[in-house]
A and B are shown apart, each in its own frame.
Chain A
C-alpha cells in the first residue's frame, strides 16, 4: 500500500475494486489489524477507529468493533456445527452463556439460518456456509464489517442472496460495510461509495457509482460492470450501473424503431447461433449416463451429450447439479454406473485416466494443486515427461501464448492468482489436448484476467480444440462460450446456443441481455449490445 488517505464515516457501504495485487485485501487486513499482527510486516502512518489509534486498541476491543469475512467459506469454519460456529467468537469474548444464546439466536435469525442452527456444517451448501461465516461475525456485533470477495465461490443465486443481506444489514442496522468484489454487475449499485485501487494506491474515490463509472470509462480501467462498458463504448458518459437505469436511458432516448433493431440477429454479429456437428465422429459421445456415489447420492441421471471438435460449451447450474461429476466421467476419473461415455469412439471404461491425459486436459477448481516444482518451466516439463512427449519448443510456445515467459523461472507458488491459474492451464496445454475440461476457471479472477482467459480459450477453439467449462459466471459464458448446457439435480435440463440459453432468464442472463429484453432479445455479448445500442442512439438522433 502507498499513501492511503481514507476516511469512512459510520454507516457507509464502500465497494473496493481493482485488479489482482492492487492492495485491496491488504487494505482490509490493515483495518482489521491482521497486518501486522498476524501476517507480519510493518506500515507507516496511522489507522484510527472512532478516534482511537488501531495499534493502541486491545485485541478484544478491536474484534468487537471490526469483523472480517473471507473469500472461501470452507477455510473459515472452525467447528462442525452451525450453532458452535456462530458462538465461537462470542466464547472468545468471554460472554456469559445467557448472552451468547441471545446473540446466536439473533444472528442466525437475521441471516435466515434459524432452520440450519442444529445442522452439520459439512452438509451445508457454499452459500449457507458463507452465511454462517457472516453470522458468526455479526453475532459479535461489530460496527464495521469487512468482506473480501465473499461471493466469489458461490453460484449466482447464493451470491445475490449474500449481497442483498449485506445491503439490508447496512440499511436497517447502520453497519458500515467495506466490500471487495470482482463481479461488479452484482454489487456496483449497492455501494454508497466506490474506491478504485491500483498498485497499492487509491486512484479514485467517489460516493456516486455513476461518477466512478464515468471516470473508469474515461481512464479505460476494466473494473466497471458490463453495462458501463457498453454505454461508454457508444460515447454515453453518464453510464448506468443497473439494468433499471439502463432501460430508463433507453426509454429517454425515445421509442426506438423496434422493427429495425430486432433485425440484429446473432448471425449478423459474426457468431453462429448453434454449432452443428459436421457429421464426423464426435469427440465425446455420452449416452444414457447415470452415476451414483458410494454414499448413494445419485449425481448424474440419464445424461446424453455430444461434444464435437471445436465446440466451446459451458456447463451451468446450481451447486450440486452434477457439473463437476459430469466432466470427471468424461476424463475417466469417475466410472459410469450405467450408460456409455465414448471418447473418439472408444468406450471410456476401456481406458485409464493416465491414457487419456495426453488428449483430455483437465483443470481442477484449485490451480494450487498443480504447483509443486521450483519453476514454472519445470511444471510444464513435468507434464511432458509423464506423457512421454518431446519438448520441440512447445514449452516456450505455451509460455509465450499464456504471457508467462517473464516468469518462466519463477516459483509458481510466488505468483499472483491469475498467473497461477495460467501456469496450471499451461501445464495442461503442453500435452496438446484435443479436449479441455475446466472446472470453475474464473473463480477469483478479475475482469482483465477473465478476458485473457476467455481469449485464450477462443483461440484454442479456433484450432479445433473442444472446450468444456464449468462456471457460475454468466457474463463469462455469454462473452466467450458458444453453447450452454444447463444442469439441475444431476440431469441436463437444456442444451442450446448461448443465444437460446442465456436470454430472458432472471439469473442466467448477462446484464446486456436484461438491458435489451423486449427490444432485441438475441443479444448476449458486449459487441452485440454495442450494435443494438448504436442503433437505438441513432434512432434517437
Chain B
C-alpha cells in the first residue's frame, strides 16, 4: 500500500511546497556538510520535525535497516582506511599484513553514516508528510501527461503489490511450494504468478483507462484544480528554511562546516558550534511551531 497517511499535525497542514523545500534543504545541506556537529544538528532537526508530524513509527522502520548500515560503514572504513594517529587496535592478518583500526577512521565512518541517516530521514519526511497527489499537482500544468502517468503509477503500484500478494497466496493454497526445489524449479513456480499478475494488471489498466475515458480524459485541453493556500505558518517555515539553508551555505563558504578527521581529530571551534545551532534551530522551526500549535489552540487561528 501507499506509505503516506493523512495525520492531524501541523506538518501535514503545511503547504506541500514548504515541506518539500524543507526536506530538500536538509538533503542539500547533508551533502554540503562533512562536519559531525552540523550533520548531528541536521539529524536532530529532521528528527524533531518527524516527531512533530507523528511519523516516528514510520521513521523507525527506516532506521531499522539504516542503523546497521551505518555500523557497517564504520566497520569497513575502520578496517580499510589506515590513516589516523590514534590507534585503537592493531593486529597482523594473514595476507593483509598489520591492520590497525584508528579512532579517526571510525569517526569518519560515523560521520558518513550520519550523513546517510540524514538523507534517509529527509526522504522519510518527504514520503510520509507530503501527499503524493499534491506533490504531483505542484508540478502540474505543463507536461500534464507525464504528471498523470506518475499519478497513475502512484495509484496502481500498491494495487499491483496487493495483487502479487493475493496471487501468491492462491498458488500456495493450490499446493505450490515456492521454497522447494533447485533455482530452476523455483523460477518455474513463479512463472504462473507473473502470468496472472500481468493479465490482472492489464485488465486493471484497461478498466482504469475506461474510467478515464468516461470522465473526458483526452477530450481537449485540461485545466488544473488547485486549492492549496499559503498561510502565515507556511511563510514562517519557508523563511526559516531559507534562512537555515543560507546560513549553512555561508558556513560552508567560511570553511566552518568541514571537519578535519586526519591525522588526528580536532576540537570544535565556537563559531562552528554557533552556526550549527543556528542551522539546527532554523530547520527545526516547524517542530517548535507544532509544539506551540498543540499547546496554545489560539495559535492555530493566528498562523
Chain A residues packing against B (C-beta within 8 Å): 32, 34, 37-39, 58-60, 63-64, 66-68, 70, 72, 74-81, 83-84, 87-97, 100-101, 104, 118-120, 122-123, 133, 136-137, 140, 328, 331, 333, 352-354, 357-358, 360-362, 364, 366, 368-373, 382-383, 386-388, 413, 427-428, 431
Residue pair B216, A387 in contact (C-beta under 8 Å): no
Residue pair B225, A34 in contact (C-beta under 8 Å): no
Provide 19 A-B residue pairs closer than 8 Å at the C-beta atoms, listed in order of the A residue: A34-B210, A59-B219, A60-B219, A68-B214, A74-B159, A80-B151, A80-B155, A93-B219, A93-B223, A97-B225, A136-B215, A137-B215, A354-B172, A354-B177, A358-B175, A368-B199, A373-B192, A382-B174, A413-B199
Residue pair A370, B213 in contact (C-beta under 8 Å): no
Q: Contacting chain A: which of B83-91, B109-117, B127-135?
A: B127-135
CB distance from B146 to the nearest CB of A (A): 15
* B297 lies within 8 A of chain A by Cβ: no
Contacts of B199 in A (CB 8 A): 368, 372, 413
State the 6 A-B residue pairs at the shortest beta-carbon distance, nearest first: A386-B175, A89-B215, A92-B216, A76-B211, A87-B225, A60-B219
Residue pair B176, A386 in contact (C-beta under 8 Å): yes
Residue pair A91, B173 in contact (C-beta under 8 Å): no
Residue pair A364, B174 in contact (C-beta under 8 Å): no
Residue pair B175, A78 in contact (C-beta under 8 Å): no
Count chain B CB atoms within 10 A of each CB in A64, A74, A333, A372 and give the residue with the most: A372
Assess A357 versus B173: contact at CB under 8 Å? Given A75-B207, A368-B196: yes
Assess A60 versus B216: contact at CB under 8 Å? Given A75-B204, A96-B223, A369-B167: yes
- Which residue from chain A places its CB closest to the CB of B192 in the assembled complex? A372
Assess A357 versus B216: contact at CB under 8 Å? Given A38-B209, A72-B207: no
Chain B residues packing against A (C-beta within 8 Å): 1-2, 4-6, 131-134, 137, 151-152, 154-155, 158-159, 163, 166-167, 169-170, 172-177, 192, 195-196, 199-200, 203-204, 207-227
- Complex Cα spacing A417 to B212, Å: 24
Contacts of B163 in A (CB 8 A): 369
Residue pair B200, A70 in contact (C-beta under 8 Å): no
Contacts of B172 in A (CB 8 A): 333, 353-354, 357
- The number of inter-chain residue pairs (CB within 8 angstroms) is 183
Contacts of A328 in B (CB 8 A): 169
Assess A34 versus B213: contact at CB under 8 Å? Given A123-B6, A364-B169, A369-B200: yes
Assess A370 versus B170: contact at CB under 8 Å? Given A38-B210, A67-B214, A358-B175: yes
Contacts of B211 in A (CB 8 A): 70, 75-76, 78, 133
- Which residue from chain B places its CB closest to the CB of A328 in the assembled complex? B169
Known: A75-B208, A354-B172. 5 other contacts (CB 8 A): A34-B214, A84-B133, A92-B220, A120-B2, A354-B175
| A368 touches which of B169, B203, B224 (Cβ 8 Å) | B203
Residue pair B166, A387 in contact (C-beta under 8 Å): no
Contacts of A362 in B (CB 8 A): 170, 173
Residue pair A59, B216 in contact (C-beta under 8 Å): yes
Residue pair B134, A369 in contact (C-beta under 8 Å): no
| B223 touches which of A79, A94, A358, A361 (Cβ 8 Å) | A94
Residue pair A78, B227 in contact (C-beta under 8 Å): no
Contacts of A382 in B (CB 8 A): 174, 192
CB distance from A38 to the nearest CB of B (A): 5
| B196 touches which of A80, A357, A371 (Cβ 8 Å) | A371
Residue pair A140, B169 in contact (C-beta under 8 Å): no
Residue pair A81, B196 in contact (C-beta under 8 Å): no
CB distance from B104 to the nearest CB of A (A): 41
| B174 touches which of A38, A60, A89, A427 (Cβ 8 Å) | A427
Contacts of B152 in A (CB 8 A): 78
- Complex Cα spacing A362 to B176, Å: 13
Residue pair B210, A84 in contact (C-beta under 8 Å): no
| A58 touches which of B166, B200, B213, B219 (Cβ 8 Å) | B219
Residue pair B207, A76 in contact (C-beta under 8 Å): yes
- Which residue from chain A places its CB closest to the CB of B176 in the assembled complex? A386
Contacts of B209 in A (CB 8 A): 38
